Amino acid sequence: MGSGRQRAQSFMILATMLYRASHLTAGVLAVVQHQRVVAAQYAGLAVALGLSVLGYGAALRRGWFDPRHIWADVLVTGCALPFVLCTWGGAREPASLEWAMLLGGSASAAASIALERVQALAALALLVAAHLVGYQLVGASPAVVGHVNSVLSSAVMAWVFWWYLRRQGRLLDDANARALGAETHKARYAERLEHHRALHDTVLATLTTLAAGGVDANAPAVRERCAREAAYLRRLIQQTAAEVPHREIGAALEEAVGSVESLQLRVTTQYHDLPKVPPHVAAAFADAVREALNNVRRHAGTGHAYLTATHDPDRPGGAVVTVVDRGPGFDPERYVPGLGLRGSVHGRMAQAGGRASVDTAPGEGVRVELRWPA
């Protein structure tokens, strides 16, 4: 679509071209009906048509008018043509000259927007003079005022339209620039938030467990997990989001389960007829599952969790993943969700177009259900 100014230019080219086309149509009808045997009338019409095709064709290709073509149109079509018709075209009355004078109106409209201010005023003065002298030659003094007004009003209206469209184009470009800046800022914020969630679910979870003394820091599984997360931090620094490898949902869930099992949480998994989902959805499921399992290890007081993943029987192509523990549960009315549950579980699923729900009660354990699409 281009910038706002480019749209304004395209509109003005089209508007003035249609204005010229209406005058050429009137010229064709006038010559065919009243000047059938005067070759100069046909020649003048052909010249006006040729200059119009040249000027507007070049404007459509380049995106704006060439001042040389505008001056050629003003001098030949707007100024010289009426005198040629009076001298060689048999124009002895206003009706035989009027179609040529009409072309001066569309010439003034194009000149007012395509030429610099001083040049546009000079072109307008030449067109007005040509109208005054031309109608004097055919004895049509009463018609001079109306036709001069047409030349002037065409120029003024075209210039006003052009000024207004340029102004609106600048406002549109400014608004687009602000919107682009806001989107860029939003994307950067979302990327930072995603990094924060990832660090919360991986590195922070590992460090919290090690600090609490719940696992042996020298155990091979713990050391392996620490090595994986160190590699993850290096990738986070070096790569963009577009470079993150895409994974199927089953592989993504297995990776999430494996990362938590290295911290001595046993997870019983069951997969059945998993659908193919977009890569970002698989990543959202995996990250939400990882945080749900981290919550089991930290808060449930049990070393065992259950994960089930299957297709959604109610939505073709959808998926449902549940994480269940048999811990003490909690009262949802009195519990304020923390960052992990809000951002890493609910937030991630919502961003991917899914949803998460938590079903629990005191003494009943916790069931986290992840569903996509919502």
Interval 207-221: pLDDT, tens: 777 777 767 777 777
Same domain, 22 and 141: yes
How many structural domains is the chain composed of? 2
Same domain, 274 and 366: yes
Give the confidence band of 243 by pLDDT, cuts at 50, 70, 90: very low
Same domain, 33 and 143: yes
Same domain, 20 and 153: yes
pLDDT in tens, 315-343: 888 999 999 999 888 887 777 666 657 76
Q: Which amino acid appears at position 27 of this protein?
A: G
Asked, for residue 218, whether it belongs to a domain, the answer is: no
* pLDDT at 256 > cutoff 90: no
pLDDT value for 354: 93
pLDDT value for 157: 95
Asked, for residue 235, whether it belongs to a domain, the answer is: no
Asked, for residue 182, whether it belongs to a domain, the answer is: no
Give the confidence band of 247 by pLDDT, cuts at 50, 70, 90: low
What is the sign, positive or negative, of the torsion defined by CA atoms of 290, 295, 296, 302? positive
Same domain, 144 and 253: no
Give the confidence band of 99 by pLDDT, cuts at 50, 70, 90: confident
Most confident of 37-41, 65-69, 97-101, 302-306: 65-69
Q: Which of 143, 174, 205 is the last residue of a domain?
A: 174
Please give the model's pTM, rounded to 2 decimal places. Answer: 0.52
Q: Which of 119, 151, 174 is the last residue of a domain?
A: 174
Asked, for residue 196, whether it belongs to a domain, the answer is: no
Strand 319-325 vs strand 304-311: parallel, antiparallel, or unpaired?
A: antiparallel
**How crowded is residue 65: how many other Cβ atoms within 10 Å of its Cβ?**
22
Give the confidence band of 241 by pLDDT, cuts at 50, 70, 90: very low
Same domain, 29 and 138: yes
| Least confident stretch, 2-6, 125-129, 232-236, 289-293 | 232-236
Asked, for residue 190, whether it belongs to a domain, the answer is: no
Q: Nearest-CA neighbor of 294 among 192, 373, 225? A: 225
Same domain, 132 and 44: yes
Asked, for residue 306, whether it belongs to a domain, the answer is: yes
For residues 263 and 26, the model is more confident at 26
Domain span including residue 362: 247-372
Asked, for residue 193, whether it belongs to a domain, the answer is: no
pLDDT in tens, 143-192: 567 778 888 999 999 999 999 998 998 888 888 878 877 887 776 776 66
Cβ atoms 75, 119 nearer than 8 A: no
Same domain, 16 and 158: yes
**How crowded is residue 57: how many other Cβ atoms within 10 Å of its Cβ?**
12
**How many helices and strands, by DSSP H and E, does the chain display?**
13, 5
Same domain, 158 and 268: no
CATH number (domain holding residue 319): 3.30.565.10
pLDDT value for 333: 79
Asked, for residue 231, whether it belongs to a domain, the answer is: no
Same domain, 361 and 258: yes
Same domain, 8 and 153: yes
Residue 254, C-beta contacts closer than 8 angstroms, at least 6 positions apart: 269
Q: Which of 123, 152, 174 is the last residue of a domain?
A: 174
Buried b (16+ CB within 10 A) or exposed e, 78-117: bbebbbbbbeebebeebebbbbbbbbbbbbbbbbbbbbee
Give the confidence band of 37 by pLDDT, cuts at 50, 70, 90: low
Q: Which amino acid appears at position 152 of this protein?
A: L
Same domain, 170 and 42: yes
Using only C-alpha atoms, the chain has a radius of gyration, in whole angstroms, of: 39
